Structure 1
Amino acid sequence: MPSKAFVEIKDLVLNTQIGTYATGAVVPDRHLLDLILAIDPQLVMIANDVMTSVFDYDPLVLQIDQLAQDGHYETQERLMTRIVEACAKYPQIQSVTMTLRKTPVRQGSGVLGIRLEVDTQTLDQMRSKI
């Protein structure tokens, strides 16, 4: 079986505004992002302890923060699409699995999330348009 490597970001709180709610509706106060990025195992199993040998995810996290704060989103799906577009700019990323959750859904409870899996072929198609 071939080796696999992943960068995982879990429970990243996004400072964002998503949705339009009627008066008296429960408005989510937290938006949480989980992101799993498949990368080449050679970017993890390294001979020398230097940043140039690994995938530096910090610029991507910064860009995700900026996208989240980029204004009001009507839907979670639009923010997710923009995050995938940001990921596509990194050739080291082979696939993306993302979950964006909001809470609460009802008074004081519940989490609602959307999960998206984007394969290499889709990322390559996006890269060809960049």
Structure 2
Amino acid sequence: MTSIACVELKDLQLNTAIGTYAPGATIPNQHLLDLILWINPSLILIASDGMEHVFDYDPLVIEINRLAQDGQYETQERLLTRIVEACARHSEVESIEASLRKTPVLENSGMLGIRLSVDADTLKEIRSNLRTSN
């Protein structure tokens, strides 16, 4: 049997500003992030307790929070792209599933969002692009 492992973050409320809205439009008051980071199972199935044996996701959560507050975004897509790039900077991450959604959409109801799956090959390409742009 093959083992798979992930770090899962659900319903992280981001303090961010996304979009421009016409007068009278419903303005979302919540932006929620779900993130699944697929990692090597050896970073979860550990023989002894200690941070040196696991993927330390705290710095990534801090970076995601910083990115969310990094000015006005026109689209959810741009913020999610930057979050995926932040994840790609961590070599432990082998693939990513991410979704970003906002609520309300219309008169205090509904949720609207985007979802992205990034496989190992795409992640490798993103990492290559990040190295050449720095």
Match of 2:112 in 1: 112
Shift in Å, 1:128: 1.9
> What are the Cα deviations for residues 56-95 of structure 1, in whole angstroms up to 9, with x where unaligned?
0000000000000000000000000000110110010001
Q: Which amino acid aligns with 1:94?
A: E
Question: Partners in 2 of 1:126 and 1:29 — Cα distance?
Answer: 31
Match of 1:121 in 2: 121
Question: Partners in 1 of 2:83 and 2:110 — Cα distance?
Answer: 24
Identity rate, percent: 63
Question: Partners in 2 of 1:113 and 1:6 — Cα distance?
Answer: 22
Question: Partners in 2 of 1:78 and 1:128 — Cα distance?
Answer: 19
Uncovered stretches (5+) of structure 1, i.e. residues with no partner: none
Match of 2:61 in 1: 61
Question: Partners in 1 of 2:9 and 2:83 — Cα distance?
Answer: 13
Question: Partners in 1 of 2:125 and 2:105 — Cα distance?
Answer: 35
State the superposition RMSD in angstroms: 0.6
**What TM-score results when the alignment is normalised by the length of structure 1?**
0.98
Q: Number of aligned residue pairs: give it.
A: 130
Correspondences of 1:1-130 after superposition (within 5 Å): 1-129=1-129, 130=131
